[in-house]
Structure 1
């Protein structure tokens, strides 16, 4: 039920947090499994980098999150980016897997955590992810807009 609700909500562009507030008890998407698929540990090496349209969201004064995309060795990758973040801010990429409709988090560049302490996450390839959104955590989790990707 929760997986179908998240998938339905992501297809409408409503934040996952708002959707999960409708379930009882709410299970935060922030607690979803950590997996980056066939991931790209350092998206800085990707070429053709650009922001995925419709994924930018404000998270604080002068701060925003977005999903970026680029190519590396013939594959497209998506990753979350935080602009003007502070030392204790975290960023994550929330994504839905094409093969099982499961919601996952991708964060640290070594794949050990669903959150990144840098200003960008590892990248998830387009063979796995079909819906993506950036997530931000300081005192609470905030979600950027979710979009169908690639």
Structure 2
């Protein structure tokens, strides 16, 4: 009887734990390790630039958006976060999940020294490393754009 009860309850418990894990918000940007690699410090150099589908979020006034952009440089695809119509004190970051270790990282300044970039865009992370990407915004609060599986 006990084995049947455990067998009946276990799948429900596992499903509930999985649902909670998926619903948990991503790590706060300041708590995630900063890692931009040395891949693409100036995304303006990439060709075939476009917005990654389903990554745009309005963060303030009409037209003030964050998004993940992608483009090709040196035969590789790169993703970076971009802020449109940001103010002097607005920050943007790229949250991304590493394919090799499944860890969540934060990419900000183009020199890799900070988890946040001022105003316009971050450094680019290549598709050999980034599995999931997400733009983040910080002014008085941190706002997360949609996270999507990338490439």
TM-score (norm 2): 0.82
Q: CA deviation digits over 1:13-54, x for unaligned, max 9?
A: x6xxxx249xxxxx6243200001342000000000000001
CA contact 1:92–1:135 (8 Å) conserved in 2:
yes
> Matches of residues 1-150 of structure 1 in structure 2 within 5 Å?
9=22, 19-20=24-25, 28-62=28-62, 63-150=64-151
TM-score (norm 1): 0.82
RMSD across aligned positions (CA)? 1.7
1:24 is matched with none
TM superposition outliers: structure 1 runs of 4+ over 2 Å: 27-30
Q: After the TM superposition, which of the residue ranges 33-42 and 59-68 deviates more from structure 2? A: 33-42
CA contact 1:89–1:117 (8 Å) conserved in 2:
yes
Unaligned runs of 5+ in 1: 22-26
* Count of residues in correspondence between the two structures: 131
Structure 2 distance, partners of 1:110, 1:65, is 20
Structure of higher RCO (CA pairs closer than 8 Å, 6+ residues apart): 1
Change (3 A) 1:120 1:53: same
